[in-house]
Structure 1
Amino acid sequence: MVLVHGFWHGSWCWSEVVPHLVAGGRRAVAVDMAGHGLYARHPRWFTRQPYDPEAVATEVSPVADVTLDDAAELLLSQVKLIGGGEPVTVVAHSAAGPVLTRVAEQSPDLVAHAVYVTAYMPALGVPAAAYTRIPEAAGDRVAPLVQGDPTRLGALRLDFATDDPAYRQGLREAFYGDVDPAVAEAATALLTPDSPFGIMTGTTELTPAGWGSVPRTYVVCTRDMAIQPAVQRKFIAEADAAFPGNPTSVVSLAASHSPFLSVPGELAALLLPLGR
């Protein structure tokens, strides 16, 4: 089983889930997505002193050239290496969803089961970014936190250098509303400020023989304030309408956007049987 994190996070976010999966008899490996973790590149303002709010809003991101193609190429290489050429279950959280979708479309023989944990799952050949502007997304807690213009910066940027208590509280509510405060604070300190906007603007044309043939499960997080439940269910409805012969299996967790930190044991229990 290959576990892929969402934007601003890294493979570290699965550290509480992997032991449960291994204890349940599954091999599980968490990997970094392009532009994140060991592939992250921090903008200069992030460590420069004194703090410069103008630079936060204007400095072009060092990951501005990372595209959905790049992210999919990296994930495909990871899947091939980990599975040894055999199909594996791939679990995608949040903005890793479009990356998994591209890999499953290109190489359906290598994805035994595609699992979307409160993730973007466009099924109509439109970019994931389009779903941040639909009526169902109104009121999400992430959009007000994004700094600058993503089309100019080349990234979706969050300001983890600010000491503004209201902003930091907004981060907590958006990502970690039901996570232990100490764990949430530790996780926030590990987040990467820039996530490549190109991953959200890329598109994948889906076919019945590609992504449409791969078994898929969607884990709805009913307390999510980043990708709200109505948006999650829209993904499911559109996928099922596009590929009615291969409907989405749906399970729910009473969790926020980060069930890998708030309910790792429960999340692992849902994942264990998938793709066996």
Structure 2
Amino acid sequence: MGGVVLVHGLYHQAGHFGVVAAGLRRVGVEVVVPELHRGSLREDTRVVQEAVDGFGVAPVVVGHSYGGSVITGVRGAGHLVYLAAFVLDAGESAAGWGGGSAALREAVVAAGEEGATRLRPELAAGVLYDDCPAPLARRAVGLLREQGPGCGRGVPERQGWRTTPSTYVVCARDRAIDPGVQRRMAARCGEVREWPTGHSPFVGRPQLVVGLVREVLAGIGGWG
């Protein structure tokens, strides 16, 4: 039976992948969704590595947005799936690729802890979940968390996409990460898909994500 690790992005949490995780579990796929927010890219990568190491066979590892920086540094994945995510080479960071769009940066405001930031709800919905049904967008906005500083400037210690089969999903209507930037990073992956969605298909069109993961699992013999 196949296994999957779902890795969220900045300001997000495991709950954002709840519908996707439930859809995969219904068909017998073992799913782990680690909570990041560990204070640095290195620590976020460590907690995802622990999740990967917990499987008896190499799992599919899916990274969304900043989560791509995290999964790039992981060993032992059977397949890497980058969902509107950063595919970083040696010495690169998400910030070095420009980070988020101007619209996303406009939504960022200082939070309580020193250096922490949060997203303004009234702007976050239009940037992250603009193509999602309103009830789903409201729920997703309600799940957003404060984000500690520095993670987007982190540099992965290895480049897993060089040795692990990989798929990139370009979200062609993304308002958070320029689709043109996504296509440039996607060229590093073994396979490229393009979906007519905004930044967060796991919220608005979770069946697309479930279907892709099952397809990848079937392709590596992990049952889909």
Q: How high is the TM-score relative to the length of structure 2?
A: 0.86
Decide whether aligned partners of structure 1 residues 182 and 18 sit closer, same or farther in structure 2, where only a CA change above 3 A counts.
same
Map 1:67-216 → 2, pairs under 5 A: 67-81=40-54, 83-84=55-56, 86-103=57-74, 107=75, 110-132=76-98, 140-148=102-110, 153-155=114-116, 157-160=117-120, 168-193=121-146, 195-204=147-156, 206=158, 210-216=160-166
Deviation at 1:117, TM superposition (A): 0.6
Give the letter for the 1:234 counterpart.
Answer: R
The answer on whether the counterparts of 1:175 and 1:225 sit within 8 Å (CA) in structure 2 is yes
Per-residue deviation, residues 189-222 of structure 1 (Å, max 9, x unmatched): 12102x2333211113546xx5411001111111
Per-residue deviation, residues 242-268 of structure 1 (Å, max 9, x unmatched): xxxxx4211121111110111011221
Deviation at 1:29, TM superposition (A): 2.5
Considering only aligned residues, what root-mean-square deviation do their CA atoms show, in Å? 2.3
The answer on whether the counterparts of 1:114 and 1:216 sit within 8 Å (CA) in structure 2 is yes
SS of 1:158 mapped into structure 2: strand
What is the CA–CA distance in structure 2 between the aligned matches of 1:268 and 1:221, rounded to whole Å? 16
Q: Any stretches of 5+ residues in structure 1 without a counterpart?
A: 36-65, 161-167, 240-246
Per-residue deviation, residues 81-115 of structure 1 (Å, max 9, x unmatched): 2x14x311110111111111111xxx2xx100011
Q: What is the percentage of aligned positions where both structures have the same residue?
A: 30
The answer on whether the counterparts of 2:42 and 2:156 sit within 8 Å (CA) in structure 1 is no
What is the CA–CA distance in structure 2 between the aligned matches of 1:68 and 1:15, rounded to whole Å? 23
| Pair 1:31-2:31 in alignment | no
What is the CA–CA distance in structure 1 between the aligned matches of 2:135 and 2:26, rounded to whole Å? 26
Q: Any stretches of 5+ residues in structure 2 without a counterpart?
A: none
Map 1:232-271 → 2, pairs under 5 A: 232-237=182-187, 239=188, 247-271=189-213
Deviation at 1:147, TM superposition (A): 2.1
Deviation at 1:159, TM superposition (A): 4.5
Higher Cα Rg: structure 1 or 2?
A: 1
Deviation at 1:179, TM superposition (A): 1.1
Match of 1:3 in 2: 6
Give the letter for the 2:213 counterpart.
Answer: L
Per-residue deviation, residues 14-72 of structure 1 (Å, max 9, x unmatched): 1111233234443222221134xxxxxxxxxxxxxxxxxxxxxxxxxxxxxx1211111
Give the letter for the 2:80 counterpart.
Answer: A
Deviation at 1:79, TM superposition (A): 1.6
**Matched positions, count:** 214
Match of 2:17 in 1: 14
